[in-house]
Amino acid sequence: MTSVFGIPVAVILGQLMLGLVNGSFYAMLSLGLAVIFGLMGVVNFAHGAFYTLGAFAALLALQLFGINYWVALIVAPLAVGALGMIVERLLLRRVYGLDPLYGLLLTFGLALICEGSLNQVFGATGQSYPVPPALAGGFNLGFMFLPLYRAWVIAVSVVVCFSTWYVIERTRLGATLRAARENTPLLQSFGVNVPLLMAGTFGGGVALAALAGVLASPIVLVNSYMGSSLVIVVFAVVVIGGMGSILGSIVGGLTLGVVEGFTKVLYPEASNVVVFVIMALVLILRPAGLFGRD
């Protein structure tokens, strides 16, 4: 059997692969959003901008200092995460306790500052980041060609996502983080430095976005608005999965990426909107989201 409904199997599997790669980015971004929201009650509209910053950090590190991909994979998220901690300390901290809408508006403003500045300095045309030599090429699996870099993206994303889930749901650190959300004064009376914990959480969530940005840089063109359209899809993923659920954001992200990939094969015109249509359907059938509780 080499074709289904007149579409070659290799094409279907190829799109499935691309869908999984996109889903990996959705998962990492919605995971970061869920971590920040779940522990701090802030919807980070600037999440896409931090993803873009991660990609630019890797690109500039290579162009200016000759820092290679492997170092950038570690350094860029750390740098962006540190920036996130500064943003949290200086700005975000001031909207805690207000209506969550103000957090949304504040981070929207931050996204405009970040993307507008990047666009002004680096121009609107995208720049390409070379695929690291060790991950170039691919395997011929017999029924399809598997580019090594894309497999690497999926693998890293799955490992990172499930490690994050494990840390938050199964370790003492994660328990402390959740306690900070439940009852801040009580935790502080036990001697835990909650403000530092908050800054660390925001830095961590943002670093996840930046890591996704570095991973994406060799397969997309690095440009100032790469994150802004992505983050809208990620918001839809979050509404579908249910914002409170960390596992929901991981599973939802990967699944929706695959669904989008299949749509590209079956009905390409709808591939841009399929996630939004699914979101509308979920809202009709199960307004709290598939994994949500409220």
CA-to-CA distance for 47 and 209, rounded, in angstroms?
7
Please report whether residue 100 would count as binding another protein according to CB under 8 A: yes
Contacts (CB under 8 A) with another protein, residues 38-57: 43
Number of chain positions touching another protein (CB under 8 A): 45
Q: What string marks each residue from 119 to 158 as x (binds another protein by CB under 8 A) or -? A: xx--------------------------------------
Please report whether residue 287 would count as binding another protein according to CB under 8 A: yes
User: Closest separation between CB of residue 209 and another protein, Å?
Assistant: 16
Answer whether 143's CB lies under 8 Å from 9's CB: yes
**Per-position DSSP letters for 221-284, written without gaps between them:** -B-TTHHHHHHHHHHHHHHHH-TT-HHHHHHHHHHHHHHHHHHHHH-GGGTTTHHHHHHHHHHH
Q: Segment near another protein (CB under 8 A), from 156-164, 204-212, 257-265, 270-278?
A: 270-278
Contacts (CB under 8 A) with another protein, residues 102-121: 102, 104-106, 108-117, 119-120
User: Closest separation between CB of residue 229 and another protein, Å?
Assistant: 8
User: Closest separation between CB of residue 21 and another protein, Å?
Assistant: 21
Closer residue to another protein in complex, CB, 36/208 = 36
Closer residue to another protein in complex, CB, 129/235 = 235
Closer residue to another protein in complex, CB, 28/233 = 233
Please report whether residue 246 would count as binding another protein according to CB under 8 A: no
Please report whether residue 95 would count as binding another protein according to CB under 8 A: yes
User: Closest separation between CB of residue 150 and another protein, Å?
Assistant: 25
Please report whether residue 232 would count as binding another protein according to CB under 8 A: yes
CA-to-CA distance for 276 and 206, rounded, in angstroms?
24
CA-to-CA distance for 129 and 97, rounded, in angstroms?
41
Closer residue to another protein in complex, CB, 96/152 = 96
Please report whether residue 99 would count as binding another protein according to CB under 8 A: yes
Closer residue to another protein in complex, CB, 150/264 = 264
Answer for which of 4, 101, 136, 221 binds another protein (CB under 8 A) is 101
Nearest-10 crossing angle of helices 246-266, 226-241 = 110
HSE-up (13 A, CA, CB side) for residue 241? 27
Q: Would you tell me which residues interact with another protein (CB under 8 A)?
A: 43, 91, 94-95, 97-102, 104-106, 108-117, 119-120, 228-229, 232-233, 235-236, 238-239, 243, 269, 272-273, 275-277, 279-280, 283-284, 287
